[in-house]
A and B are shown apart, each in its own frame.
Chain A
Amino acid sequence: MTGGPRKSMSLRKPAAQLLLLAALALIAVLVSVMVGAVSLSPGEVFSAIRGDGDPTAIVIVRQLRLPRAVVAALVGAALAASGATFQALLRNPLAEPYILGVSGGAAVGAMIAMVAGWSETVSRAVPFAAFIGAIGAILLVLRIAASAGQALDTRVLLLGGVVVGAFFNAVILLVLTLTDAESFRSAIFWIMGGFAGATWSTAGVLLLWFVPGLLLLLALGRSLDLMSIGEDTALYLGTRVEQVKLIAYISASLLTAAAVSVSGVIGFVGLVVPHVIRRVWGGGFRFLIPASALLGAAFLTGADALARTAAAPMELPVGVITAFVGVPFFVWLLRRRPG
């Protein structure tokens, strides 16, 4: 795993690694559909998907567990891919999808929808408002970064994002303080993040953002390799730096915004998954982005399955699982391969 030829030496090897990760993600989805209050065998799952067998199993699989697993996989993939992008763009290994205030904007949007009571009258009002809030945060950060100079300075982008995020968090605290107990509870649940209530339409909306966002990031892979060394180097190696920065920032932010709007803020996936890929296999962004997306999908789907079942009938916040599983694993990985 460690000393083998790098991906550049052979085309087959990274393809095999991606296939392995894709299989892992599919297995995670399958296991996630199998486990729960009623456990199902793989055979039962497959016949339920085809519409055969026990009507209860069909409902559980088709309307509850499968859409939920698919949404978890898409969110995991989106967070991991945008985390990898922000790390390259900001040349900061601590960057994660929420670093530029997108989560704060989404939370403010969601909270306004809850407190105003729209969530009871309009279906999907909360994710929609969260998405609008996230877009607002993206535009605000871009505006701040652009007003500081004619070019998009990544340091200003980072500071702008942190400041905007801090401001939104203050707004959230203010709203929480002023609101009634019931809105408070639902707001806290939203902030904790999770996939309860995920439907096929949730998955559909996610996919709408996920596919173009991921394709754009894949197309920018080589430019991101260069940008992660330095903007001057990228320029001198033929990259149109300002364009790449803008497209990468918007794509990664939209992926994050879509993920946050349907599942709240789920920490750790976007930070750690790209590092795991880099440490185990290395390789450039053309490999790192799809590999991170697949591993992120597997990881978050598995974490959600565990969150549903570990303390059943109670459901744990999935962020607790991602941290409890992810942190020790990451520490182990850091110690195993220094540097």
Chain B
Amino acid sequence: MNRHTADRPASVGWTLDTVSFQYPAATVRAVDHVTTSIRPGQFTALVGPNGSGKSTLFRLLLGALRAEEGLVQFGGRRLDHWSRRDLARTIGVVPQNEEITFPLTVRELVLMGRYPHLGALQALGRRDHIIAESAMERCDVLPLADRPISTLSGGERQRARIARAIAQEPLAFAFDEPTIALDLGHEMRIFELARHFTSTGATVLMATHNLNLAARYADTLVLMHQGRIRAAGLPADVFRKDILENVYEWPLEITTHPGPGPDAGAVQLVPVRGGAAEYRDEHTDGGSEKNGGSEKS
């Protein structure tokens, strides 16, 4: 991949130093002493089972939650020293939940990405419209520009929201499970777009449940489990049978992508069918690291 080739300035990343967070009513920490970095210009996928702390970590990285302990830095500065406005000019976020209560067109939604660049009384200008149109073009939603959001399919809606993030002209993108409830084609388009962003020098952080696509598209995987980072690094280093079986509590096999295509040989995983009872038995019996896959052996 030819990264750092485009006309963008050097991109920005995050570093976390023993960051912890606990929700007020909770008994355990949602994020527990996490130390890691999200490197500039790379595609980092944040993975882990439901309730593993992914979303909390995601919100800590974006300043929607404030770390109780530890230090979150973004672009070499403490996150809480950034103004909301500067952050919005630097990170394009697509959060998981948005409720469009009132009629809104795709164009109006994408133009909201320009708001952080406008003064309090400044109106949207010609340049803002041009930027919004090129963002819509990149996400294949320009033909839908004047359609109400409520008439779009799930995949189109998600691409419209990504176009809004592009319109922010950020140095980093953060997507929280952007392909949930999307079909295969729409999911692939979003991973392709995310990969493309890094080719222009941008940093991409994506929380996702699609481990196999994460292993093919991302440079780095960060695997969360019970509020901690269980493994982080190259996909091939994180895709270890013992770790993944333990984290997901399901037997699985590690294999490689057969090709054709650019990522032939990439690590992939295949969950084993009918593994629930087996896994639970072995898990509760001995809690051993060796489990699952007995059908195969």
Q: State the A residues within 8 Å of B (CB).
A: 6, 8-9, 11, 87-88, 91-93, 149, 219, 222, 225-226, 228-230, 232-233, 235-240, 278-279, 282, 284, 339
Q: Which residues of B contact A225 (CB under 8 A)?
A: 112, 115
Contacts of A284 in B (CB 8 A): 108
Partner of B98, one of A6, A87, A230, A278: A230
Q: Is the beta-carbon distance between A282 and B103 smaller than 8 angstroms? A: yes
Contacts A237-B115, A284-B108 hold; do A93 and B102 have CB atoms under 8 A apart?
yes
Question: 3 tightest A-B contacts by CB?
Answer: A238-B88, A236-B93, A238-B116
Q: In this complex, what residue of B is CB-closest to A337?
A: B103
Asked whether, in the complex, the Cβ of A278 is within 8 Å of the Cβ of B95, the reply is no
Which of B117-125, B190-198, B286-294 lies at the interface with chain A?
B117-125
Q: Assess the A236–B108 pair: CB atoms within 8 A.
A: no
Evaluate whether A236 and B102 lie within 8 angstroms (CB atoms) in the complex, with A6-B107, A8-B107, A8-B108 already known: no
| Contact A232 to B87, CB < 8 A, known contacts A6-B108, A222-B115 | no
Q: Are B97 and A232 in contact (CB under 8 A)?
A: yes
Instruction: Tally chain B residues at the interface, Cβ within 8 Å.
Output: 41
Annotate B126-146 by CB proximity to A: 1 below 8 A, 0 otherwise. Answer: 000100000000000000001
- Which of B118, B150, B168 contacts A222, CB < 8 Å? B118
Q: Is the CB of B91 within 8 A of A236?
A: yes
- Restricting to B239-279, which residues have a CB under 8 Å from any CB of A? none
* B87 lies within 8 A of A238 (CB): yes
Which residues of B lie under 8 Å from residue A240 when comparing CB positions? Answer: 84
Q: Are A232 and B112 in contact (CB under 8 A)?
A: no
Chain A residues with CB under 8 Å of B73's CB are: none
Interface string of B82-100 (1 = CB under 8 A from A): 0011011101010101111
Q: How far is the CA of A229 from the CA of B62 in the complex (A)?
A: 18
Q: How far is the CA of A229 from the CA of B64 in the complex (A)?
A: 16
Contact flag A339-B151 (CB < 8 Å), given A229-B100, A236-B95? yes
Chain A: minimal CB distance from B112 (Å): 6
Residues of B within 8 A of A87 (CB): 101-102
Contact in complex: B98, A233 (CB < 8 Å)? yes
Considering the chains assembled together, what is the distance between the CA atoms of A239 and B112 in angstroms? 12
The answer for the CA separation of A279 and B89 in the assembled complex, in Å, is 32
B97 touches A238 (CB 8 A): no
For the complex formed, measure the closest distance between the CB of B289 and the CB atoms of chain A, giving whole angstroms. 38
Which of B84, B93, B121 gathers the greatest number of chain A CB atoms within 10 Å?
B84
Instruction: State in angstroms the CA–CA spacing of A93 and B102 once bound together.
Output: 8
Q: Is the CB of B64 within 8 A of A91?
A: no
Alpha-carbon distance A235/B62, docked complex (angstroms): 9
Does B101 lie within 8 Å of A238, measured CB to CB? no
Taken together as a complex, chains A and B put the C-alpha atoms of A339 and B85 apart, in Å, by: 33
Instruction: Please name all residues of chain A whose beta carbon is closer than 8 Å to the beta carbon of B168 when the two chains form the complex.
Output: 237
A219 to B95, alpha carbons, bound, how many Å?
A: 26
- Expressed in whole angstroms, the Cα–Cα distance for A9 and B125 within the complex equals 9
Known: A91-B99, A91-B101. A8 touches B124 (CB 8 A): yes
CB distance from B50 to the nearest CB of A (A): 19
- CB of A233 within 8 A of CB of B95, answer yes
Supposing A11-B123, A226-B112 touch, asked if A235 and B101 sit within 8 A by C-beta, the answer is no
* Cα–Cα distance between A236 and B115 once the two chains are bound (Å): 11
